[in-house]
A and B are shown apart, each in its own frame.
Chain A
């Protein structure tokens, strides 16, 4: 069975500090990978997607970056956090041929 693991579960970070969020998918080779984000009071929106190792496409510009260093790993990062980065971050995967998405348990980020 496929599993998706996100880390950390929650973070409190200072404005201007760096951030790295991770996501690992086990049991599925060559998945499509996604980062979604929900600001407080906002809707979930897709930030990045990746269909293969080393290739990441940005969907929304938020001064964040993403990388896929391995087939089963997706990293979201920034060198300098903004207050507006606070929210709930979700990693997800799907098979390349359909739209069924499986989400991780999420990371709650508070930037102060």
Chain B
């Protein structure tokens, strides 16, 4: 079945350092699934951070970037300079679409702790 594997947390970095959270996927039900990064800040629900639906394209939001690489089946999340407010849990996900409904397949989530 489809699955998503991402960097095991927690990941601890200092403010202004660079960040990469790895994400690889396996999609057997669909050749080129839509790929997502979601974020959950402390005490809040899940928010969409960025989404890419076309292989080879890059998505960006709030200083984060991720490129859809179909050769390596990866969708790594990167940021050049993190801030303390980026501390959160980050989830990589792919979408299975069936007819007019669908399902998100999530990774386990990566807890990011940014130290001041």
Q: Give the A interface residue count (CB, 8 A).
A: 25
Contact B97 A99 (CB under 8 A): yes
Q: A101–B34 Cα gap in the complex (Å)?
A: 12
Contact B103 A59 (CB under 8 A): yes
List of A residues within 8 angstroms of B100 by Cβ = 32, 51, 96-97
Contact A46 B104 (CB under 8 A): yes
List of B residues within 8 angstroms of A101 by Cβ = 48, 104
The total of interchain contacts (Cβ-Cβ below 8 angstroms) comes to 52
| Residue interface bits A63-79, CB-to-B below 8 A is 1, else 0 | 00000000000000000
> Measuring CB to CB, which residues of chain A are less than 8 angstroms from any residue of chain B?
6, 32, 34, 36, 42-46, 49, 51, 59, 90, 92, 94, 96-97, 99-106
> Measuring CB to CB, which residues of chain B are less than 8 angstroms from any residue of chain A?
34, 38, 44-48, 51, 91, 93, 95, 97, 100-104, 106-109
Can you pick out 20 interface pairs between chain A and chain B where the beta carbons lie within 8 Å of each other?
A6-B45, A32-B100, A32-B101, A44-B93, A44-B104, A44-B106, A46-B103, A46-B104, A49-B103, A51-B101, A90-B45, A90-B46, A96-B100, A97-B100, A100-B48, A100-B51, A103-B45, A103-B46, A104-B45, A106-B46
